[in-house]
Chain A
């Protein structure tokens, strides 16, 4: 049973470009979560989605960041007009209902 799949594993963008991070949840999981991790820190919650619905986006920056989990296909975290401060590891987790959440190995985003 495949785990949570994230791609790409590494992504390099120049300031002002767009970054798209993809996450395929574990089979049978309908809940998806995105977290951001800075070096030497814990993960910070960004957004919680179910199919076609954003349930909680209280951790998302108000501008430039958006997330979706369409009926078909992976969940997408989109960052427009990236800035240096967006450099971080972005982790996706999924769960069948409430818990526990199982994580992917993340996308490391670097902004030049």
Chain B
């Protein structure tokens, strides 16, 4: 089965509000996580990553939180804009395993209401 999954397949938010996208993972050996944004017809675009020795990392308008105890990852987007509308994927990896393959979840579609 899927090692990484998402709690909600779709999320609608009002422009200007904050968005929170959740992700659960089941492989306790995973120690590196990435959030990607995918717009229609395009490839996944790197947003932010976090390693398991951290529980929070911030970028420009985005924050990733990692809770290893419950194997949960979240992406927070501040002041959501129409350009944030896309499908968001979390991905996990076990580093040091000889391969750098990413395991992706199914994705959450974020729709921003103007």
A interface with B by C-beta (< 8 Å):
4, 6, 31, 33, 35, 40-45, 48, 55-56, 58-59, 91, 93, 95, 98-106
Contacts and interface: CB of A to CB of B under 8 A. Distances in A.
B89 A99 contact: no
Given A99-B49, A99-B93, A33 B101 contact: yes
B34 A100 contact: yes
Contacts of A102: 46
B46 A100 contact: yes
A93 B93 CA distance: 15
Interface in B28-46: 32, 34, 36, 41-46
B58 interface: no
Interface of B: 4, 32, 34, 36, 41-46, 49, 89, 91, 93, 95, 98-107
Contacts of B91: 42-43
Contacts of A105: 41-43
B101 A59 contact: yes
Contacts of A43: 44, 89, 91, 102, 104
Contact of A55 (B4, B36, B42, B98): B98
Contact of B101 (A6, A58, A91): A58
Given A43-B104, A56-B101, A103 B44 contact: yes
Contacts of A45: 101-103
Nearest to A59: B101
B100 A101 contact: yes
A98 B45 CA distance: 17
Nearest to B41: A105
Nearest to B34: A100
Among A43, A48, A102, A106, chain B packs the most CB atoms within 10 A around the CB of: A43
Contact of B106 (A4, A41, A100, A101): A41
Nearest to A103: B43
